[in-house]
Structure 1
């Protein structure tokens, strides 16, 4: 696939969650092949969800939160709850009246298996088989208007996987990929362990789109969530030109 190196200040730092200097490297910290080394060179520095200062959520036809299942022909492999928020201090969050230059934060809470809530998500009757290992959450479309600001909930990753948890954020053909690494064996990102992922865009959502995927149990399952509308002449940090003097 065509992957473009993004030379921004947010790049070239590994997003390690809870790792220490004396701990052995995980499989995403030590490149074992040329391909792995290439992936490490494209990392975005991942911000912690708890550090975000968010304003009100956009209220769409489904309300503030958009709920869907990430599924394939075999069944549902995750529940997805998504919302889009304006910057702190903006209430209400209405793209029709928001000032030019507003940054929108897209938030996706991924529950492998299902969210264990009877009134939301896919529901118990639509479960897939138990998710023993989920390894990535990704977009299937370019991240329109992506500013370069991206991250996840480090507390949730720690709770799901433990101190060796890594979430590495890269780009794939203009789309964002959050790769969740727990190394081999031991605790994995698995059934009913939610992790929140987020990214920021200069473009407001046009509505839910089939644009999100979970890699789980060695298969992929797809579902819908808020996705930016069409925008001419907008930037996407995944495909921004490489700055002069940058290595790569």
Structure 2
């Protein structure tokens, strides 16, 4: 697998939810070579609330796309997604956007369901209650990925508490947000939304089967906005690793 770490601008190099005075999370107490390697390669996460976003792309489903993340056993999460242009753009039309436009992909993941019949899996949810969700991930390479990604730290704190941590890594060109809550106690679980984001130089072509949640020791997949085909587009996951860099 191609898992690496990059140097990001200082404005994006924000600390994870936990502070230096708090006990380390289970990822910081890496008990295996694999866990230690994942920690060493993590991408420092930007805070969702610090983003200054402009207009959203309006597609056939409107400005937001809803879907369910599911497997043969049922629906394990609702997914609500949108793609936004930079703050100075009051209309987000990729066909008219200037060259160099950066698109922010935003995904709000509700383990279990969001308890609204009109969105996502809604009343159709037939999975077991989600007691522990541990990751949100892309199942395809992050085309055009700029190296900027993050999540809502306020939401993580609300769902999990002060021990909350989210480690972002690359897996064969795709992004993985691993949610660490330690053992026991509060977990990322049923009906606790978490917002994840990443930025790309490539606009979406439409929803694609490109996202998944790891929950209740299973994986469930579904669709969300995904970049159009762009041969030769950069993907920061594939950039050379920074020698001696640490998360």
Give TM class, smaller chain. over 0.9
State the shift of 1:138 in Å: 0.2
Structure-2 separation of matches of 1:149 and 1:202 = 11
Query: Are 2:209 and 1:207 aligned?
Result: no
Structure 2 SS opposite 1:212: strand
1:88 is the counterpart of 2:93: no
Residues 7 and 246 of structure 1 are in contact (CA less than 8 Å); yes or no, is this contact kept in structure 2? no
User: Would the alpha carbon gap of residues 22 and 15 (structure 1) be closer, same or farther in structure 2, given more than 3 Å must change?
Assistant: closer
Question: Hey, which bits of structure 1, 4+ residues long, moved more than 3 A?
Answer: 245-248
After TM superposition, give the deviation of residue 10 of structure 1 in Å.
6.0
For residues 200-235 of structure 1, the C-alpha deviation after alignment (integer angstroms, 9 at most, x for no partner) is 000000110000000000000000000001112211
- Cα distance in 1 for partners of 2:217, 2:9 equals 30
Q: Distance in 1 between matches of 2:2 and 2:172?
A: 5
Give the corresponding residue for 2:34: 35
Please name the residue that 2:237 is paired with. Answer: 238
TM-score normalised to structure 2 length:
0.94
- How big is the shift at 1:109? 0.2
Q: CA deviation at 1:40?
A: 1.0
Report the RMSD for the aligned CA atoms in angstroms. Answer: 1.6
The equivalent residue for 2:55 is 56
Contact 1:6 1:239 (C-alpha < 8 Å) held by counterparts: no
Partner Cα separation in structure 2 for residue 246 and residue 234 of structure 1: 27
The structure-2 alpha-carbon separation of the partners of 1:7 and 1:121, relative to structure 1 and needing over 3 Å to count, comes to: closer
CA deviation vs aligned residue, 1:129-186 (integer Å, no higher than 9, x gap): 1100000000000000000000000000000000000000000000000000100000
Q: Aligned equivalents of 1:195 and 1:16: distance in 2?
A: 14
Residue 3 (1) aligns with residue 2 (2): yes
Check the 8 A contact 1:140/1:213 in 2, yes or no: yes
Distance 2:188 2:8 in 1: 29
Cα shift at 1:21: 2.8
The whole-number CA distance in structure 2 between the counterparts of 1:99 and 1:125 is 41
Structure 1 unmatched ranges of 5 or more: none
Distance in 1, matches of 2:105 and 2:8, equals 21
Matches within 5 A, 1:162-173: 162-173=161-172
**Partner residue of 2:160?**
161
Displacement of 1:15: 4.8
